[in-house]
Amino acid sequence: MAPPDFNLTTDMPSIETLVAFFGVSALLALTPGPDNIFVLLQSAQRGWRAGMCVVLGLCLGLVGHTTAVALGLAAVFAASGVAFGVLKFCGAAYLVWLAWGALRAPAGSEEAQMEGAAEPGELPAASGALRMVGRGVVMNLTNPKVLVFFLAFLPQFADPARGSMARQIMLLGLVFMLATLLVFGAIACFSGAFGALLQRSARAQRLLNRVAGLVFLGLALRLATAQR
């Protein structure tokens, strides 16, 4: 049986297209939205290493969205109002749950120490790191707006004349993840450094928890009222 027809020079967008796509992706990652706000708050609350775990989870979630677009599943999903509604309300419920935890958490709570760094600069425990990665994955996968956005955005940079659209979309998705990792990683580091200063004050930490809870509630409301 003949091997599959795959030519790296034709089954991928041009270098110029990839560079332009990376630039656009970085600008989009910098645009205020639920994901980078989520990274900012989690990093400020629990340290930059915990924030980087969230960033990793968000990027892993993008793998799912990219695969869905490449396989044509995203178009089927976007056409289903029921599927869109179920997913967005699951995402909104998850954000409400996070808001409840943040609003009721006292400064220096045991839960915060388990989920992030117990002290500024301290590496989170393995279970806490995995939990933060999981938060990023769930946050991304339960936002149907990301899937619909990818469905509209990625194919614009793929050229059928250059070969497999699915392979091109997967490559574009990887480039988008790289841009997201760099931008969100920078946000996590800067926010974590600022949060470390706030964590020295129990009052400031409690205020940060309350602000985070209110922001999560706002994001939940925004997601629950989102339209296709």
Predicted confidence at residue 173, as pLDDT, reads 94
- Distance of alpha carbon 56 from alpha carbon 152, whole angstroms: 24
Phi (first) and psi of residue 34, to 5 degrees = -60, -40
Give the tens place of pLDDT for each residue, 26-70: 998 998 888 988 999 889 888 899 999 999 999 999 999 999 888
Q: Across the chain, what does the average pLDDT equal? A: 80
Amino acid in position 14: S
Tokens of 89: 């309300």
Count of domains forming the chain: 1
Residue 164 is assigned to a structural domain of this protein: yes
Cβ distance 48 to 184 under 8 Å?
no
Residue 78 is assigned to a structural domain of this protein: yes
Cβ distance 151 to 29 under 8 Å?
no
Between 73 and 16, the higher pLDDT residue: 16
- First-to-last C-alpha distance (Å) of the chain: 44
Residue 26 is assigned to a structural domain of this protein: no
Residue 34 is assigned to a structural domain of this protein: no
Residue 215 is assigned to a structural domain of this protein: yes
146 class by beta-carbon count within 10 Å (0-12 exposed, 13-18 middle, 19+ buried): buried
63 class by beta-carbon count within 10 Å (0-12 exposed, 13-18 middle, 19+ buried): middle
Residue 25 is assigned to a structural domain of this protein: no
Checking if the pLDDT of 2 tops 60, the result is no
Tokens of 52: 């980087």
Domain of residue 147: give its range.
53-224
Q: What's the Cα-to-Cα distance from 46 to each of 102, 115, 122, 147, 168, rounded to whole Å?
A: 12, 7, 10, 28, 37
Residue 132 is assigned to a structural domain of this protein: yes
Tokens of 18: 């990839």
Between 222 and 27, the higher pLDDT residue: 27
Question: Which of the four pLDDT bands, split at 50, 70 and 90, describes residue 114?
Answer: very low
Question: Which of the four pLDDT bands, split at 50, 70 and 90, describes residue 107?
Answer: low
Q: Report, in angstroms and rounded to the nearest whole number, the Rg of the chain calculated over CA atoms.
A: 19
- Distance of alpha carbon 129 from alpha carbon 53, whole angstroms: 6
Predicted confidence at residue 110, as pLDDT, reads 39
Give the tens place of pLDDT for each residue, 152-208: 888 889 888 888 888 999 999 999 999 999 999 999 999 988 877 766 666 767 777
Residue 23 is assigned to a structural domain of this protein: no
Distance of CA 106 to the CA centre of its chain: 26
Name the region of 155 (left: φ>0; alpha: ψ -120 to 50; beta: rest).
alpha
- Distance of alpha carbon 121 from alpha carbon 109, whole angstroms: 17
